[in-house]
Chain A
């Protein structure tokens, strides 16, 4: 009995492995064309973590993307066809992202996919999309040093967020920095860049600490930070860890005046869970805040609250996800088809007035021109902009324009 059970487990596992292997190999560009044919609908994939440690952040991006699809449909759809979202759960588990991406491309035959948050999930999906020659729109700021022909990056790359953040700390006279991050590819690569920047800009890195995703015990780390006595902390923690980190930092008596903690993954949505008491006054670096002033943002905030509730907030990754749908739709209109290569070709140079301001697709890197904004968290939980770059910054994922970063792209 026991033996048979084990045998069937092994057999199922082997079968699953074979299926995934076959699933990935075959070219799927025909499927993209199939998505536009027939019944007058265009299927698009939405792939975020709706469960697990990243759900706190990714669910809101899904909501924003669904809102964009709804708005586009209400305005007549794309090429006269309605967009039909196919929503999948990546479950905060990177292999699951690859598996669900394969499912969306091969089984649902979606025209494009909007999805991912952590870089680990993007790195897991990248080979799937490249092999199948399918499109992914990735809506979150990330560590750069990547430019896949089948991914459009609608969040910031490092020179639109992390480097402006460091410039801001430097302007504030913060010379001794402590680095705290989650233990995966984004924080580690971001910190490599930060260290190179520090070396070239006469800043000192006093310590560099990583904790596993989902880590909730920060008393030891707080002790280490307090012993090092930095001027500021650069925080690349992701997900629920931020809540534990800021709660425990605050109860250890760290205030924003004494030691500001600059975060690049804490937006309006996360502030609510952390508790404003614990984080008010600390700076963050993004490209968009709910308080960003322009007509497109007023409309976005109002529409989002109308659909999901007046107590909801909007944040940078949500806005980037919302933009991604519009930018893709614009590229499809320009190309006259949802065929991947045509859309890619048409996308370059598309410029739209978005809630964050003017966003232009850089055809070469498939990243966006974005305005960098530094904000400070207010007692009401919203973020007030205190600095911006004045104009959209050209995306430079490999930091070719920064001499101090010359060793990074290869390393």
Chain B
């Protein structure tokens, strides 16, 4: 019974990790419809940012790196959008191939710059230990996920830029004729979405490996959350991440890790049969 109860916070903390890695995608994939396979590599860039800052800041690297990684990954995203993706809008399959190629290039770049072996990012000492079955670093990630969601919500609903972003998402043509510079909104959306991947990367250094292949371990999960939650839906992503986290933790508890993955995938496939548009749907009058 105790072990059973322990799984509840574990499931939620897995959900928090899923949410963090997927939040950026709700922007780029959800809002803009860009299937960005290089999202995982922006996560990796965030993790390596923490690694590099370690030399300057020691054990505080994880904290200092959060804003820096946001900028680094965001700029990478911006460059990718400006240099390549904007020429491929409306061509999802080409974008998929393009960004996949970019992801391979970035992985190899990381391998050449930092070497193939994993590197270590030391966690702050005050993140060691924990309450019962929940380590402090998990709580930190949980808190970070909550804070990020609140931040995004406030940005999208309380700022002009956020509202313009929503307008473009809901009806691009109408937004454009209303005088919104949609190209600029796209840049900003891509910057934020990629930057959030960087933030997730910093958080992942607390629990996982930091290596060139880091992004590949999380990219599929990130897409699952966004697809299950409904494109571009913040609350959809939150609920889907929590649900998948809990499902994952209990499925693994009762079976094993390999089978749990099968169960989660099967559940998502079944779910999408009934709700192909995900948990929440954006109601729009746009003719698309």
Contact = CB atoms under 8 A, between A and B. Distances in A.
Interface string A270-284: 101111110000000
Contacts of A379: none
B135 A223 contact: no
A315 to B, nearest CB: 10
A219 B3 contact: no
Interface in B28-75: none
Contacts of A411: none
Interface in A247-278: 247-248, 250-253, 269-270, 272-277
A59 interface: yes
Given A214-B217, A215-B257, A217-B17, A244 B117 contact: no
Contact of A216 (B13, B107, B209): B209
Interface string A215-234: 11101110110110000000
Nearest to A215: B257
Contact of A211 (B6, B108, B133, B257): B257
The CB with the most chain B CB atoms within 10 A, among A216, A221, A251, A252, is that of A251
A160 interface: no
Nearest to B218: A216
A220 B257 CA distance: 9
B111 interface: yes
Given A215-B257, A277-B122, A251 B211 contact: no
Give the 5 A-B CB pairs with smallest separation, nearest first.
Answer: A273-B118, A243-B209, A251-B135, A211-B257, A59-B116
B116 A223 contact: no
Contact of A55 (B116, B128, B258): B116
A273 B260 CA distance: 27
A381 B127 CA distance: 22
A51 interface: yes
Nearest to A63: B116
Contact of B208 (A57, A247, A250, A276): A247
Contacts of A251: 123, 127-130, 135-138, 206-207
B208 A216 contact: yes
**Chain B interface extent, by class:** 35 or more
**Chain A interface extent, by class:** 35 or more
A247 B206 contact: yes
A244 to B, nearest CB: 5
Interface string B122-161: 1100011110010111100000000000000000000000
A134 B261 CA distance: 39
Interface of A: 50-53, 55-57, 59-60, 183, 209-212, 214-217, 219-221, 223-224, 226-227, 240-241, 243-244, 247-248, 250-253, 269-270, 272-277
A219 B3 CA distance: 12
A3 B203 CA distance: 45
B216 to A, nearest CB: 7
Given A216-B208, A244-B209, A275-B122, A252 B130 contact: yes
B209 A227 contact: no
B288 to A, nearest CB: 20
A253 B138 contact: no
A274 B119 CA distance: 8
A217 to B, nearest CB: 6
A52 B2 CA distance: 38
Nearest to A214: B217
A273 B207 contact: no
B187 interface: no
B120 A223 contact: no
B204 to A, nearest CB: 8
Interface string B236-261: 00000000000011001100111011
B116 A221 contact: no
Interface in B190-233: 206-213, 216-218
A198 to B, nearest CB: 20
A253 B209 contact: no
Secondary structure type dominating chain A contacts: helix
B26 interface: no
Given A215-B257, A216-B217, A243 B118 contact: yes
The CB with the most chain A CB atoms within 10 A, among B138, B206, B252, is that of B252
Contact of A269 (B17, B107, B108, B117): B117
A272 B213 contact: no
A255 B248 CA distance: 26
A53 B213 contact: yes
Given A243-B209, A247-B208, A273-B120, A183 B258 contact: yes
12 contacts: A50-B116, A51-B212, A52-B213, A209-B257, A212-B257, A219-B10, A220-B248, A220-B249, A223-B133, A247-B207, A251-B137, A274-B118
A248 B258 contact: no
B14 interface: yes
Contacts of A253: 129-130, 135
B249 A210 contact: no
B7 interface: yes
B13 A183 contact: no
A227 B136 contact: no
Contact of B253 (A56, A224, A270): A224
Contact of B14 (A59, A219, A272): A219
Contacts of A276: 120
B249 A273 contact: no
Nearest to B129: A253
A51 B258 contact: no
B213 to A, nearest CB: 6
Contact of B252 (A220, A250, A274): A220
Contact of B207 (A52, A216, A269, A272): A216
A153 B3 CA distance: 43
Nearest to A223: B6
Given A247-B207, A275-B120, A183 B217 contact: no
B208 A244 contact: yes
A53 B211 CA distance: 9
Given A220-B260, A221-B252, A240-B211, 19 more contacts: A50-B116, A51-B107, A51-B213, A53-B217, A55-B211, A56-B213, A59-B116, A59-B117, A211-B257, A212-B258, A214-B213, A220-B7, A220-B249, A223-B3, A240-B213, A251-B129, A251-B207, A253-B129, A269-B117
Contacts of A59: 115-117
The CB with the most chain B CB atoms within 10 A, among A220, A240, A273, A275, is that of A220
